Structure 1
Amino acid sequence: MSLDCIVLAGGQSKRMGRDKAFLPFKNKTFLRNILERIDGFCSRFLIVVNKDFSLYEEQVKDLKSKVVFIKDINPYDGPLNGIVSAYPYIKSEKVLITTCDTPVINTELLQKLSIQLNNYDAVIPEIDSKIQPLNTFYTKNAVEKAVEIYKQGKKSLMAWLDNLNYKTINKEYIRKYDKEILTYKSINTPESYKWLLEKEDKIK
């Protein structure tokens, strides 16, 4: 089955102080870690960036036939802007949306989430009462609704989700496949990056 994956890699990385897509982890960049983990079930990678595409070529040269680089419509205008920027390039009816600050995506968990989309617009994990709108699945029609919301001047992911019929996945279910819930652990500060590196040898 065809599956496009949007990879959001165009943030400013203000809190980290350097581009998270290029941070090293397990002798690879964050971006490369993510691409390798989801390569087995994604047909194409729609990578949304704000830098020159040539900076990423070395990381994707063996995946070149599957990669489409996309510039944000409005640079540094948040993740909804990145999703909207990728919409014209989507070919599949089901879309995985990921973010480059979560390099320890659990493939088995994502595969389990994908089959729960059914007649919903999206499958959204909820961890400790907090919605996790990234590293999960949407229909193409749901992403089209993101375009409509963004045109209305609304820029938050929650403004988009408020207009979707989505299925919520609880923390207990996620722990079955991702015990430490690392799929939704954002590494966006020097402190969180240090924490990740300290666990590096224990993470598969």
Structure 2
Amino acid sequence: MMIPQFKIPCVILCGGKSSRMGEDKSLLPFFDKSSLTQYQYDRLKPYFTKIFLSSKTNKFNFEAKLILEENEIYSPIVAIDSIIKKLYNYDKFFLITVDTPLVKIESINQLILESIDSDICVAQTEKIHNLCGVFSTNIKPIVAEMLKKDIHKVGYLLDQVKSKKIIFKDEEEFLNLNNKEEYLKALKIIS
């Protein structure tokens, strides 16, 4: 079987506060890796020509290209703004959070294929997974305007651009590891 090679870069969001987890979830050990970040990075690297970590600081114990967020506010909109500034020479990028390690490569492939005629194309199960999808760099002015108005909701961004939501049936695949219970559940699933 041939491994798909996605022509757009991948960015793993690792800069959240992890307040519900009680510690930095991006640094928690996961499966056979020293951290959840390294697990996501190693898992996705074979499929993308370029892969980046988006974070407030370089807190990682392995070599990776970083996109450091240029603002002290903890917000995915701040991260998206920093990513667009760094990846200005790309039309689109795939965005995924560090705490969704079960998203299948086939699902990523589907999101990329379906993203052709949209500014943002994200996954949806029972809820919208608005930080798992393909983002166009042409949304830069809208993101900048949102930051100027102190609007930090990704849902608001989706409403302002040509967005598309792709329905997936497997809720577990998009499990978001926000607390210890979800973290332990994902470890059980993966092993």
Question: Which category describes the TM-score, using the shorter chain as reference length?
Answer: 0.7 to 0.9
Paired letter, 1:40: P
Shift of 1:98: 1.1
* 1:182-193 alignment, distance < 5 Å: 182=173, 184-193=174-183
Shift of 1:142: 2.6
Aligned to 1:99: 97
Number of aligned residue pairs: give it: 184
Return the match for 2:81 from 75, 81, 84. 84
Moved more, 1-10 or 153-162: 1-10
**What SS is found at the alignment partner of 2:130?**
coil
Q: Distance in 2 between matches of 1:160 and 1:181?
A: 25
Q: Distance in 2 between matches of 1:40 and 1:121?
A: 25
Shift of 1:115: 0.8
C-alpha contact (below 8 Å) 2:17/2:74 kept by paired residues:
no
C-alpha contact (below 8 Å) 2:123/2:132 kept by paired residues:
no
Q: Identical aligned pairs, as a percentage?
A: 23
Q: Distance in 2 between matches of 1:36 and 1:92?
A: 22
Aligned to 2:70: 73
Structure with greater proportional helix content: 1
**What SS is found at the alignment partner of 2:62?**
helix
Shift of 1:181: 3.8
RMSD of equivalent CA atoms: 1.9
C-alpha contact (below 8 Å) 2:9/2:50 kept by paired residues:
yes
**What SS is found at the alignment partner of 1:59?**
coil
Q: Which runs of 4+ in 1 moved over 6 A?
A: none
Shift of 1:143: 4.6
Q: Distance in 2 between matches of 1:30 and 1:150?
A: 29
1:116/1:143 CA distance change after superposition, 3 Å: farther
C-alpha contact (below 8 Å) 2:102/2:186 kept by paired residues:
no
Aligned to 1:200: 190
Q: Distance in 2 between matches of 1:11 and 1:76?
A: 10
TM-score when normalising by structure 1: 0.81
In the alignment, does 2:55 pair up with 1:59?
Answer: no
Aligned to 1:5: 10
Q: Distance in 2 between matches of 1:111 and 1:142?
A: 22
1:144/1:37 CA distance change after superposition, 3 Å: farther
Q: Distance in 2 between matches of 1:154 and 1:3?
A: 27
Structure 1 residue runs of 5 or longer lacking an equivalent are: none
Q: Distance in 1 between matches of 2:92 and 2:69?
A: 21
Return the match for 1:20 from 5, 8, 25. 25
Return the match for 1:156 from 141, 153, 162. 153
Q: Distance in 2 between matches of 1:164 and 1:193?
A: 33
**What SS is found at the alignment partner of 1:136?**
strand
Shift of 1:2: 3.6
Shift of 1:144: 4.6
Paired letter, 2:81: V
Moved more, 79-88 or 38-47: 38-47
1:100/1:76 CA distance change after superposition, 3 Å: farther
Shift of 1:3: 1.2
